[in-house]
Structure 1
């Protein structure tokens, strides 16, 4: 598994000297609140211990050179040509951050570039936000090395712009917020409209619980396909209901929405409105009654994503159903959907049992074997070395 020291050593192997520093940012699990962030809503993710590390040293020219532990060939771009029309592939997550800094007011004139080497143990395409981990690690490093003094809130906006403008994925900023604002042992209750991100203690350890991630290995891409269609449906629904965003609607507005909207758009709107309510309730319940009391909310969230937002897949449904049948307190798919991972809140002594049951169920169904592992709420982006 990669680490700060192994990342620094890999950088030295390539460049002949150790990096000036190593920064890291975590992936995230979304406990509840899916497709609410770009609707000005509520989200409740937490940063996980799986991270992306960025070993970085300044250069003497205006070139940014990036290598990945998984893809050793360097990708290079000039600080003079970082726009979306100049970058593509995985390196767009890195170059996009620097481009977004310029778009957000950082003067790139006269600045020199960097050599960057990335390593990661955040699974790709699993709905655990490997992309935001790259963006946030690089943004934190550049902020420090260029002595920009940007706040974490500004870095969130920069990384979101990189994702939206350079990569072309129409996502909100939940992932970047969790990656930059995570606190060990806590979830981050995000109110996108109010621009707040409040830590809420989850008490998993106090209740002898663990959160199991079931990576279905059905990979998704946010830059293409159904994600953008769902976002457009939400925008169409808000427009038809005469509101600025779906955050302006409550469950009391749903009967009128059923009359105004076509069936598909109504179900998309219904998911977002009810999911916002579930996020608020989950944060209240976990604070008042503890994590064992949130199981029904997790299950209801999955049903809404499966039936109303229609972003689940058979592998995700099977993972959730199997975990619940084996005694999980609650389970749901997590992330943008169309693949990725499910989560299950379980008693700590049952992780192996539940994991084996899911693996067997996938084998019986003829699905690719899943990857199952436990995650813990962890700290956000920081400098490691």
Structure 2
């Protein structure tokens, strides 16, 4: 495969291109979606230690951003978060949970079309008690009833919970059920077994709902706290799973199964970068060269455990050849990728990069707009 050269336009709050995020020096969550139904992507930033806990960057016109309140109080939010239409009115609502000091999970009701920069959204309770820390949430129809359910980790309780959205989601806490008891992070969804229904990927395992019960299959015990994505990368009509440790050092691994995916011994991993990834807290799937194949984006944190201890933090695009092989291209160095996202921010059809650091030069937000189609370099691999 030819090695492409990607070209980016860098926007940063540190340079005055974007508004500086209000809030604290610990930015925990980052989500991207069309919040106000105008066809343009917006960005949500959550933090802890100081108010406001949650804001959204509204793309008021193409490339012009305003910062709007979601949560004015100083709720210590954990990494993760998810977007879904919880109340059935068509717009995207927000879910996020507390960190190691806070035992609640909340959802915020999108007030579309009545937005004001200084007016917070209405907050509703999903869960309280049983334990603190809620690193990662996801929505999906995991029981096949045609309705969305919320799945979330509760690390302080040592549990993974499943909570169907109730008919009256504003009425109080949601009924929740235990999927798994044990330590873990990371959430994704995919139809692993080909039954037409999504299963849960979490903490190095996949979970299947059958007749009211949850079963799980261990893919890799070394990936208990990963970032996770899944797609059919090699065109064989079966899903492959990619994981990388988010809060530790480890390998970016692609897992395939041969035979029955319900048997752990049928899963086999491949090291995609052939190098150790340092706190790879960003992992996304997107088609970077517009060839119709899912590619990968993986990036490291800069401030991991002891201040600025990874100053050459790397970010890679891994281009998929459609046959199960990837060409890694290092695209950036020196930034703090914590819950980074990939989305078409400027509406040109190409994926852009959204970088929300955790505690490096925070508060801060960076965007890299793909400035044109990647060109093919003369060097070949």
The TM-score with structure 1 as length reference comes to: 0.31
The TM-score with structure 2 as length reference comes to: 0.31
Higher strand share: 2
Query: Using CA pairs below 8 Å that are at least 6 residues apart, which structure has the higher relative contact order?
Result: 1
Higher helix share: 1
